[in-house]
Amino acid sequence: MKRSVAKTRIGLLVVVTGLALTLGACQGRGPASLGVLRGSTASETPEAAAERVERLGEAYERDPADRRKALAYSAALRTLGRTAQALAVIEAAAVRYPGDKEVLAAYGKVLVDAGRARQAEEVLSRAHSPERPDWTVLSAQGIAADQLGDHERARRLYESALALKPEEPSILTNAGLSFAMSGDLVAAEAALRRAAARPEADKRVRQNLAFVLGLGGKTQEALAVAEQDLSPAEATAFVESLKPRKRTDAWTVARDAKTRPRAPARRDPSAGGGKPPRRRRGAASALRGGARSL
């Protein structure tokens, strides 16, 4: 079933893996994401992430020419959604190390974060080779293609990435959202269900599944999925925001603002008093939040 409203460019909560602090793993490439929690761990609090970024920033300032410190600091900045600063750091590293594929991969992914898809494509094309393809780079290239509206090519790139890393939730999520962008909610749901079924899937994957289920009119299923990570009130507000009467304006806002939507953060009950969370308006507002993952 295709929805004409889904033919506009969606602000995606896509997950581009291959960035942050495990830069020593997998050919030296670390984890990343384009959107929500970019590279942070599921158990890491915002305070802990901020402290980690501060420590890495101090190390980087002492020796900005150190590529490892530049990679780690840029990756950590993404966990806080500080894309402009992450881009400045990794861009300087790319100037110092123009042929370093690890640096180019990180640079290309931050360019995707920043919505600079054309430039990202050029950089990412130099970040790996046909002889030694990198599934994280292929996934990032797919996101760039989606940003440019070339969804068929994007899905070929995701298929190539899956051939190297079968059933990887982040790739399946990107593929599912690519289908959603082109209006195929049935294929989008199928891909996101596969992603959510994986034991390593996190709340970002489930939120995207709830998003697509809600857009497809499967309100109760969307609510059940959303409630795995949100309070009942927050989950209800989230699903209500996806109903057809509110959808068109929200999708336009998501497109024009180049947002990476996500469900609202769950309120910390230990924080005490203060005003109750406001009801979110529209799909883009319900999903947007502070940072942005691919």
C-alpha span between 188 and 175 (Å, rounded): 7
**Which pLDDT does position 244 carry in this prediction?**
62
Q: What is the pLDDT of residues 90-110, one digit of tens each?
A: 999 999 999 999 999 999 999
C-alpha span between 216 and 223 (Å, rounded): 13
Q: What are phi and psi of 59, to 5 degrees?
A: -65, -40
Q: List, as one string, the DSSP characters of 29-74.
A: -----SSSSTT--TT--HHHHHHHHHHHHHHHHH-TT-HHHHHHHH
Is the domain of 186 the same as that of 287? yes
Q: Does residue 34 contact residue 15 with C-beta atoms inside 8 Å? A: yes
Is the domain of 289 the same as that of 205? yes
What Rg, from alpha-carbon coordinates, does the chain have?
18
Is the domain of 175 the same as that of 243? yes
C-alpha span between 78 and 80 (Å, rounded): 5
Using the structure block, give the residue that is written with the tokens 């420590």: 55
Q: List, as one string, the DSSP characters of 37-49.
A: STT--TT--HHHH
Q: What is the pLDDT of residues 159-186, one digit of tens each?
A: 999 999 999 999 999 999 999 999 999 9
Is the domain of 39 the same as that of 59? yes
Range of the domain at 40: 18-135
Is the domain of 70 the same as that of 107? yes
Q: What is the pLDDT of residues 15-51, one digit of tens each?
A: 443 322 222 222 223 323 333 334 445 567 888 999 9
**Which pLDDT does position 242 carry in this prediction?**
82
Is the domain of 70 the same as that of 172? no
In whole numbers, what is the pLDDT of the chain averaged over residues? 78
**pLDDT for 291 beyond 90:** no
Is the domain of 29 the same as that of 9? no
Q: What is the pLDDT of residues 214-232, one digit of tens each?
A: 999 999 999 999 999 999 9
Give a yes or no: residue 242 inside a domain: yes
**Which pLDDT does position 46 carry in this prediction?**
86
Tokens of 242: 């996806």
CA quadruple 88, 14, 72, 101: dihedral sign? negative
Tell me the residue type at 26.
C
Q: What angle do CA 171, 175, 181 make, to 5 degrees?
A: 145
Confidence of residue 253 (pLDDT cuts 50, 70, 90): very low
Give a yes or no: residue 107 inside a domain: yes
C-alpha span between 7 and 114 (Å, rounded): 22
**pLDDT for 55 beyond 80:** yes
**Which pLDDT does position 79 carry in this prediction?**
85
Give a yes or no: residue 153 inside a domain: no
Instruction: Find, among 167, 177, 226, 219, the residue nearest to 197 by Cα.
Output: 167
Is the domain of 106 the same as that of 195? no
Residue that finishes a domain, picked among 135, 155, 176: 135
Tokens of 183: 């209006």
Give a yes or no: residue 146 inside a domain: no
Give a yes or no: residue 141 inside a domain: no
Give a yes or no: residue 152 inside a domain: no
Residue that finishes a domain, picked among 78, 111, 135: 135
**Which pLDDT does position 61 carry in this prediction?**
97
**What is the percent of the chain with per-residue pLDDT over 70, rounded to a whole number?**
68
Q: What is the pLDDT of residues 237-251, one digit of tens each?
A: 998 888 764 444 444
Give a yes or no: residue 148 inside a domain: no
Q: What's the number of domains the chain is made of?
A: 2
Is the domain of 10 the same as that of 38? no
**Which pLDDT does position 148 carry in this prediction?**
96
Instruction: Give how far the C-alpha of residue 168 lies from the chain's centroid of Cα atoms, to the nearest Å.
Output: 14
Is the domain of 111 the same as that of 204? no
Is the domain of 128 the same as that of 50? yes
Is the domain of 27 the same as that of 110? yes
Give a yes or no: residue 34 inside a domain: yes
Residue that finishes a domain, picked among 135, 153, 176: 135
